[in-house]
Structure 1
């Protein structure tokens, strides 16, 4: 799992599974810089329910407004299943 900042956007790349969440959990407060306003999910290959919960945790701890954008088709299925559309920009 990689976090690649690009201006006010951070692009997430790779996989975000339960094991990845366990590995990333201790670092969760430092993974996204304070100036980041958008998490771009277009390069996430896979997200499971633990990964989706982790993304919601990142949103909840953000100091400012933080939104998600560009979910992959696989991520869109979870977004729809858990009714999380309100957390995504168009």
Structure 2
């Protein structure tokens, strides 16, 4: 997974699976810039349940001041499966 800050938006790209989560977990509090308001998932090619839980952890650290945007088709399937639509903007 790659993280690229673009002002108040952060583009998440690549893959986010269980092994990625294990590697990124210690960095979770510093992975996203403090001024970030939107996580853009349009370039996230793959996410598994561990990856989705990691994204939810990033949201919880932002105290409700962060939203998810533009999930890829693969991510959209998990969003629907876990009923997480409320965390995404249109």
Q: What TM-score do you get using the length of structure 1 for normalisation? A: 0.97
The aligned counterpart of 1:3 is: 3
Residue 88 (str. 1) matches residue 64 (str. 2): no
The aligned counterpart of 1:77 is: 77
RMSD, matched Cα: 0.9
Structure 2 runs not aligned, ≥5 long: none
What SS does the corresponding residue of 2:89 show, helix, strand or coil?
A: coil
Count of residue pairs brought into register by the alignment:
90
The aligned counterpart of 1:57 is: 57
Q: What TM-score do you get using the length of structure 2 for normalisation? A: 0.97
Structure 1 runs not aligned, ≥5 long: none
Q: Structure 2 CA distance, aligned partners of 1:73 and 1:64?
A: 24
What SS does the corresponding residue of 1:22 show, helix, strand or coil?
A: helix
Q: Structure 1 CA distance, aligned partners of 2:80 and 2:64?
A: 25
Q: Structure 1 CA distance, aligned partners of 2:36 and 2:44?
A: 18
